[in-house]
Chains A and B, each alone.
Chain A
Amino acid sequence: MKEKLMICGGCNAKIGPGDLNKILTKIPQTTSERLLVGFDTSDDAAVLKMTDDLAIIQTLDFFPTMVSDPYLYGKIAATNALSDVYAMGGEVLSAMNIVCFPENYDLEMLGEILKGGAEKVKEAGGVLVGGHSIHDSTPKYGLSVTGLIHPDKILKNNNCQLNDNLILTKPIGSGIITTAYSVGEASEKAFLEATEAMQTLNKYAAEVIVDYDVNSCTDVTGFGLAGHLLEMLAGAYSANIYFDKIPYIMEAYECAKECLVTAGGQRNRNQFSNQVENITQEFAVEELIYDPQTSGGLLLSVTEKETDELLLALLDAGVSASLIGKVIEKNKVGITIYN
């Protein structure tokens, strides 16, 4: 079986942040005393308190194909869905498959997708307990995931504090590379670099950070590094980030220079560029920080005091982690990018 999937762009397929906010504000709110993290904070997942020392994390993520190999696609989509649990600081309990698949496609291909996903659930230490599948014109795959967490140890995505340091755990640029690769404009090597990061579970980072004073944590996905950092700053603080400290896929920078960029990246630029000042004056730098990531790394906001130890602990655990910037007092822009 050598059939390939058509590329439709992973997190690039996400509905634009501006469009989404407009309709979300009109949706009736439901509430529960158990709800610790919900809809209102635009967080990655919901957290519901069960007992004083136990809460469950509920989350769901799925998307169209971003790579043509079904097995790889399954692994990446599952890694991305599981990531929301890790971004809250939790552990994975169980998962269910969500599948849309065309009637006229080879079912073997679906088997490959599900195999890739199941392997990642297993690696996460979770149990795969079923799922739901429907026919649709294009394939889509993901997971609904339940996780566990202590109610006092929830990591919110918008709780950074003044003078916190910012740490990023995977290189950015995967959106640019997978898209450029699909049209024959990026190398095999860069593609492997991107997909390697995309199928790396954020589990290994999450297991380390729970022991440190991490004030805020999110996974970098569709809104790009810029969008997710702005979400973390929540309008209360600003941030300085240093481009030479940000890990990125080298070839993505070259592609960005040649405008081999995605629609999702431009949508992010339209949405966030009035809150970003680019001191480097380099166009490609902006493209990278607006690049939508599929299954991106964790962005952490940690106290100054614990920064060094956390970085070392992450590196010890085999997690690539870089100190990329700092939370500062609010100024007229949200993010300033220095060289």
Chain B
Amino acid sequence: MEKINCLGDACPLPVIKTKRALKKANKVEVLVDNLIATQNLVKMAEQLGGNVSVVKENDNLYHVFLLKEENSLVTDSDITDITIEESKYNYKKEQPYIVVCSSEMMGAGETELSKLLIKSFLYALTEQDVLPEKVLLYNKGIYLGLKDSETVADLHLLEQAGVDIMSCGLCADYYGVTDDIEVGTITNMYAIIENMRLYPVVKPS
């Protein structure tokens, strides 16, 4: 694993340095100091093919892990010559299912633990061999996709991998947070029911 330090680097430097590192190593860990830089790295991985995951240590420190897919990511040619026709994300989507979160917590125990559990749940979800088709968020579940929430980076990652993230519009209105929804699209009860009817549902409850 090649480790590169991009702390203090403005975009697109982290992307450029990461591409260079991927010419030499199959696995690269990149340190960046802001969420935007992680999003640009995820976009790059999505464009070039390969697997990527983001681990947030705190607001100013993120670890981005990139795994080069065999023969797909970067060749020996100059990095400006890279052209890969389409996204070759490593995630498979075989047995379709959806994930439904109706709360910003997982289970009904101590609040602190319950919040930690849902965070861990969504992180683990990004690591699954088979990703869900959709993640539906309603009631307090919509808070998982709000700007500055601890879970939004993982939801972004899922979205980048082709998972539809859908937040209940009525709920967002009710809690007055519509403008803070940072990931996915707004949905309604008809779509929620239709999706729950069509797919097997995984629910962190």
A39 at the interface (CB under 8 A from B): no
Q: Which residue of A lies closest to B37 (CB)?
A: A263
Which of A177-185, A203-211, A301-309 faces chain B?
Answer: A177-185
Check A260–B182 contact: CB distance below 8 A. Answer: no
Q: A274-B181, A274-B185, A274-B186 are in contact. Are A257 and B47 (CB under 8 A)?
A: yes
B15 close to A (CB within 8 Å)? yes
Is B36 an interface residue, CB under 8 A from the partner? yes
We find that the number of chain A residues with CB closer than 8 angstroms to chain B is: 20
In the docked arrangement, what's the CA distance between A266 and B19, Å? 18
List, in ascending order, chain B residues with CB within 8 A of A260's CB: 12, 15-16
Asked if B47 contacts A270 (CB within 8 A), the reply is no
When distances are taken between beta carbons in the complex, the residues of chain B under 8 Å from A18 are 147, 179-180
Contact at B10–A263, with CB atoms within 8 Å? Answer: yes
Asked, given contacts A180-B12, A263-B11, A283-B47, whether A258 binds B80 with beta carbons under 8 Å apart, the answer is yes
Could you tell me if B10 and A283 are in contact, using CB atoms closer than 8 angstroms?
Answer: no
Interface residue? A326 (CB, 8 A): no
Query: Which A residues are CB-close (under 8 A) to B3?
Result: none
Contact of A259 among B36, B44, B83, B147 (CB under 8 A): B44
Compute how far the CA of A59 lies from the CA of B153 in the bound complex, rounded to whole angstroms: 37
**B189 part of interface (Cβ distance < 8 Å):** no
Given A257-B47, A258-B82, A261-B40, also A270-B182 (CB < 8 A): yes
* Known A-B contacts A270-B182, A274-B181, A274-B186; A259 and B47 likewise in contact (beta carbons under 8 Å): yes
Known: A18-B179, A257-B83, A258-B80. A263 touches B47 (CB 8 A): no
Taking A258-B80, A263-B34, A283-B47 as contacts, is the C-beta distance between A179 and B12 under 8 angstroms?
yes
A246-275 CB mask vs B (1 if < 8 Å, else 0) is 000000000001111111001101100010
| Contacts from B to A (Cβ < 8 Å) | 10-13, 15-16, 19, 34, 36-37, 39-40, 43-44, 46-48, 79-80, 82-83, 147, 179-182, 184-186
